[in-house]
Amino acid sequence: MPKALLLENIHPCAVQSLRDHGFEVEALKGALGEDELIDALDGVDLLGVRSKTNVTAAVMAARPHLSAIGCFCIGTNQVDLEEAGRRGIAVFNAPYSNTRSVVELVICDIICLMRRIPAHTHHLKHGLWDKTASGSHEVRGKTLGIIGYGNIGSQLSVLAEALGMRVVFYDLEEKLALGNAHRCATLNELLEQSDAVTLHVDGRKSNTGFFGEEQFSHMKPGAIFINLSRGFVVDLGALKQHLASGHVSGAAVDVFPVEPKKSGDPFETSLANEDNMILTPHIGGSTLEAQEAIGHFVAQRLEDYWFKGSTSLSVNLPQINLGDGNGITRVTHLHANLPGVLAHVNRVLGEEDINISSQSLGTQGELGYVVTDVSKTPSSATLQALRDIEGTIRMRVIS
């Protein structure tokens, strides 16, 4: 029976789906450190994580039996994708399933900060009746600046316009503007005109420290700032200084450079005492609806890979979308993207007079992936010959 380990309180629907497909599943609520993860992965075929568990090269080297990793979230920066590719470990994520949940929280944060709800709540909790319109604004007619116009940024654009906001965005890649949104040529162009600035950039290493003192200084005086993307992209010290000076009138932060491993752990931040401040514990995509959708989506990707060899929507392997097999046995062969590998595979199979029912090949960067449905199960000698082909990374037989 294949084994799956799911960490960080992944939705029960994923656990049930994997069990229904014949997996022995262990589900844990918290994240694991490197040594703990290595111990826990003994004999495990599939691993499921969210954002707190780092799957390092050392982990994969210690557990070469691991076949696939499911990131039950949007990001994959917690996994060493290059090392996973080199070892033939497929990695999947859920790039769309919690988009709506993140967008709704951003809209909520914008309205609350524009109306100074956190500040008024704080004052009332400390016995001060502060009934005033000073500093409070409607969002209608205000300009929202979206940095990163991907799945989340573009959907946010649509909802913000429905509220009557003017939308501008900045993205390094060419993106189609939705509705009346306007693309800015530079980041500073966006910052200087936006009443609200929200970050939706990805987790690539080059985005570390992306938004700091220089960017805050270019923001429109009195604007609000929101980060629900990655904790390491923002200099929180610079944010605190601009909040203290009043240059930034309010902020919402959902992600932090260092976060606890599990719910209930202690946490401290220098932003805790700021007046018009919303602090949330990385819950942008944490609605029941989103987590259930993510659970179904990623579990399906893992099951399709295990039982069909399908790499559709993998983030690190050549993508081949496969249905049920057309032969008795399916042989998957992941290899370095070298000339002639397909010919070698077919030659080895032909030497045993094995008929090929169907075959698919995909390449991506340094990797190649060929899936072959054959009319009979190859002998152990033939399978070993397939493993011995130059450049072979991983071979699996699916019956």
User: Domains in the chain: how many in total?
Assistant: 3
Domain residues for the domain of 117 are 99-279
Say whether both 114 and 213 belong to one domain: yes
> What CATH number does residue 363 fall under?
3.30.70.260
Say whether both 395 and 271 belong to one domain: no
Say whether both 139 and 210 belong to one domain: yes
Say whether both 171 and 139 belong to one domain: yes
User: What pLDDT, on a 0 to 100 scale, did the predictor assign at position 205?
Assistant: 85
The answer to whether the beta carbons of residues 68 and 87 sit under 8 Å apart is no
> What CATH number does residue 272 fall under?
3.40.50.720
- Contacts of residue 363, defined as CB under 8 A and 6 or more positions apart, other chains included, come to 318, 337, 369
Say whether both 62 and 150 belong to one domain: no
Say whether both 38 and 128 belong to one domain: no
Say whether both 150 and 49 belong to one domain: no
Say whether both 221 and 357 belong to one domain: no
Say whether both 224 and 350 belong to one domain: no
Say whether both 311 and 188 belong to one domain: no
User: What pLDDT, on a 0 to 100 scale, did the predictor assign at position 350?
Assistant: 96
Say whether both 209 and 103 belong to one domain: yes
Neighbouring C-beta atoms of residue 145, cutoff 10 Å = 26
In this structure, are strands 367-374 and 356-364 parallel, antiparallel, or unpaired?
antiparallel
User: What pLDDT, on a 0 to 100 scale, did the predictor assign at position 247?
Assistant: 98
User: What pLDDT, on a 0 to 100 scale, did the predictor assign at position 261?
Assistant: 82
pTM: 0.84
User: What pLDDT, on a 0 to 100 scale, did the predictor assign at position 399?
Assistant: 86
- Contacts of residue 72, defined as CB under 8 A and 6 or more positions apart, other chains included, come to 6, 8, 10, 11, 14, 48, 49, 50, 93, 94, 291, 294, 295, 298
Q: Which residues of the chain have pLDDT under 70?
A: none
Q: What are the residue numbers of the active site?
A: 230, 259, 282
Residue type, 49: V
Say whether both 334 and 312 belong to one domain: no
